[in-house]
Amino acid sequence: MYWNKEAETIDAVSLSEQQAARLKKTVESLYSNIQFYKKQMDLAGVKPADIKTVSDIRKLPFTTREDLRENFPDGLLAIPKKDIVRLHTSSGTTGKPKAIFFSKHDIDAASDLMARSLYMTGLRNTDIFQNMMTYGLFTGALMMHYGAEKIGCMVIPAGPGNTARQISLMQDFETTAIHITPSYGLYLASVLQKQGLDPATDLSLKKAYVGAEPYTEETRKKIESLLKVDAYNCYGLSEMNGPGVAFECERKNGLHLWEDNFLMEILDPVTGEPIPDGEEGELVLTTLNREAMPILRYRTKDITKILPDKCPCGRTHRRIHRIIGRADDMFIVKGVNIYPQQIERVLMSVKGVAENYQINLENLDKMTVKVEIDKNMFDGKVEHIVTLRNEITERLKNEILVKPVVELLEPGTLPVSEGKAVRVIDTRTM
Amino acid sequence: MKVKQISVFLENRRGRLQEALDTIASAKLNIRALSIADTADFGILRLILPDPDKAKKALRKSNFTVSENDVIVVEVPDKPGGLASVLKVLNDADMNVEYLYAFVEKSGKKALVVLRTEKTLPAAKALKKAGIEVLPSDKVYSL
């Protein structure tokens, strides 16, 4: 049931002691080995000796994506280069990538967390794990690969794409678990359908690990029903090892964030002040078990909240809500903070609309949500379309507290997303 | 008695109706009757054409959202109260008319009207029983 019972069910006091010890060690290493952090800490007037308990974290400076870029390629290394065994990069949408280095210890620790995460969902050494993520500089595929291998699964390093081959691999080797992006998961399901294959009888799939792109609960349900799997949400980012920072247990109700390896804070994205448990804010993470490239208070820009209740699975590491939005993507209409993901959540749950959408913001806070109708829903009746539009308007209003104008478009009208889709077009002028 | 009508969803975009009509023209289909249901931000174009299947395929190929529905085409006396007398038959039979529109041309002395009702066949039967001419589909397509 547990990969590491002692670590996963640790009591609050012991966890806090462990975190404090690891934080101290991390800060000592940063301060004496990394010029950037020494400077930042000196500026903030804090010395490693000031860090005694977990709450002292608030004395320490933040690290932003820009800091990682400015110190590219190796300005944030805490150990000699000869002890580095791996480089990953995280593609930036603008400018230089971020370089992330790993020592042998770091790779082992990340693999172990990954194994812990996968084992938690019921993955065992009898499973056949087909990894449909991109291998390479991206951390996602390799870390999952290591975790599944560590459990003892047979891993098929299929990589993404070539759907016909994916399907024959799944059939020939009776794949029971896949690691996939949500968009590719939906695509795979549509290809299976076209080929007349029923996952329930023609495949052996049981689990899907879905990640690398944000998605909604509705998308998860869709993937589960189309592929006949239990789909698990994972959270991670290259700066923090990659996947396996937080993972869902079999309850699929929030993601256990491995607090023995990462110190978690939920802060107001603007002021940087702490936000009470249960309320939304930016996830800020500090590595507690990394040698090569420890990172202090990293601003993930991901918006989530802590689920304060105990999880019935017995693990004591606190759960976070699936990522609600990106601090960068947030926009304000009529004084209300809105994330595009909220709009997506509603649209995914409405029958009769396709997945593509666009939000247009015009002067005087006029908000228009454009969504394509599903061509199969069109039966020639005006009232069905009007009802659909009213339903979407009403449900959006309930979700975001602002009533948008909903415009229904013909399928294929909106630009198809390539990589990061532009969802919000803001033409407001002040 | 059932006649196939093609419905096309048109989003509120300049020139979109023109594009739909161009597609039909390129397929060399002559529109026999048409109507546009129009709301503030979308429209539905309804068409009676000689070859509904061909029209449907051509429109879909040009990425239009299309559906096909059954309608009835009836002859209506071209005089005051002509249409009212037809609708009375359906009303008496407790059948709702969803919408109707008229043909461009007449057959003889009578006007032609396209009727969309909840249930096509019972409506057509009721009309026939009342002595109203319901046109067979082949006759409609070859008008």
Q: Are residues B11 and B59 in the same domain?
A: yes
pLDDT tens digit string along B100-133? Answer: 998 866 666 778 889 898 888 899 999 988 888 8
- The count of domains in chain B is 2
Identify the residue with better confidence: B137 or A37: A37
Rounded Cα gap, residues A265 and A68, in angstroms: 20
Q: Residues 6 or more apart from B6 whose CB is under 8 A from it? A: B46, B47, B48, B49, B52, B55, B56, B59, B66, B67, B68
Strands (E), A181-289: 207-210, 230-237, 242-248, 255-257, 262-267, 281-287
Could you give the CA distance from residue A296 to residue A308 in angstroms, rounded to a whole number?
24
Helix residue ranges per DSSP H, A45-162? 65-70, 104-120, 139-151
Report the percent of chain A where pLDDT is more than 90.
Answer: 72
Looking at CATH, the fold of the domain delimited by A331-426 is given as: GMP Synthetase; Chain A, domain 3 (3.30.300)
Residue of B11, B68, B98 with shortest CB distance to A408:
B11
pLDDT of A94 higher than 60: no
Which among B69, B99, B126 is the end of a domain?
Answer: B69
Q: pLDDT of A118-165, one tens digit each?
A: 999 999 999 999 999 999 888 999 999 999 999 999 999 999 989 999
Q: Which two tokens stand for residue A111?
A: 């693999």
Asked if A407 is an interface residue toward chain B (Cβ–Cβ < 8 A), one would say yes
- Whether residues B77 and B94 fall in one domain: yes
**pLDDT at A58 > cutoff 70:** yes
Q: How far B127 CA sits from the closest chain A CA (Å)?
A: 23
**Residues 6 or more apart in contact with residue A94 via CB below 8 angstroms:** none
Asked if B11 and A382 come within 8 Å (Cβ–Cβ), the reply is no
| Chain B residues bordering chain A (beta-carbon distance below 8 Å) | 5, 7, 9-13, 37, 39, 41-42, 44, 46, 63-69, 98
Residue A295 CA: distances (Å) to CA of A30, A262, A274: 8, 10, 19
What average pLDDT does this structure show over A12-18?
97
3-state secondary structure of A410: coil
B103 and B135 in a common domain = yes
pLDDT for A308-361, tens place per residue? Answer: 999 999 999 999 999 888 888 888 898 888 888 888 888 888 888 887 889 999
Do B49 and B80 reside in the same domain of the chain?
A: no
User: Quick one: B8 and B63 in the same domain?
Assistant: yes
Classify residue A26 by its DSSP letter. Answer: H
One domain for residues B53 and B81: no
Hey, is the C-beta of A386 within 8 angstroms of any chain B C-beta?
yes
pLDDT digits (tens, 9 = 90+) for A34-55: 999 999 999 999 999 999 999 9
pLDDT at site A149 = 98
The residue of chain A nearest to residue B7, with distances taken between CA atoms, is A380
Q: Kindly determine whether residue B37 and residue A382, on different chains, have CB atoms separated by under 8 Å.
A: yes
Q: Where are the domains of chain A?
A: 1-327, 331-426
For residue B138, name the pLDDT band (cuts at 50, 70, 90). confident
- Cα torsion at A166, A168, A172, A178 (round to 10°)? 20
Q: Are residues B63 and B76 in the same domain?
A: no
List, for residues B49-96, the tens digit of each pLDDT value.
Answer: 999 999 999 999 998 999 999 999 998 888 888 889 889 999 999 999
Q: What is the pTM of this model?
A: 0.73
Domain boundary among B30, B50, B69: B69
Q: Residue A326: what residue type?
A: R
Is there a single domain that holds both residue B103 and residue B134?
A: yes
Q: How many CA atoms lie within 13 A of B87 on its CB side?
A: 14
Shared domain for B98 and B62, answered yes or no, is no
Match 């920072």 to its residue by tokens: A245
Summarize pLDDT for A272-316 with one digit per residue, the tens: 999 999 999 999 999 999 999 999 999 999 999 999 999 999 999
What SS3 class is residue A213?
A: coil
Whether A354 contacts chain B with CB within 8 A? no
CATH number at residue B84: 3.30.70.260
B43 and B101 together in one domain: no
CB atoms within 10 A of CB A95: 10
Say yes or no: B74 and B136 in one domain. yes
Give the model's pLDDT for residue B143. 76
How far CA B38 is from CA of A97, A385, A389, B8, B17, in Å, comes to 51, 12, 15, 12, 12
Task: Note the CATH number of domain A1-327.
Answer: 3.40.50.12780
Structural domain that includes position B8: 3-69
Same domain, B34 and B80: no
Residue A114, burial from CB neighbour count under 10 angstroms (0-12, 13-18, 19+): buried
Q: For position B40, which CATH number holds?
A: 3.30.2130.10
Q: Among residues B47, B69, B91, which one ends one of the domains?
A: B69
Q: What is the pLDDT of residue A419?
A: 46
Quote the DSSP letter at residue B134: B
On chain B, the residues whose CB falls within 8 A of the CB of A380 are 5, 7, 44, 46, 67-69
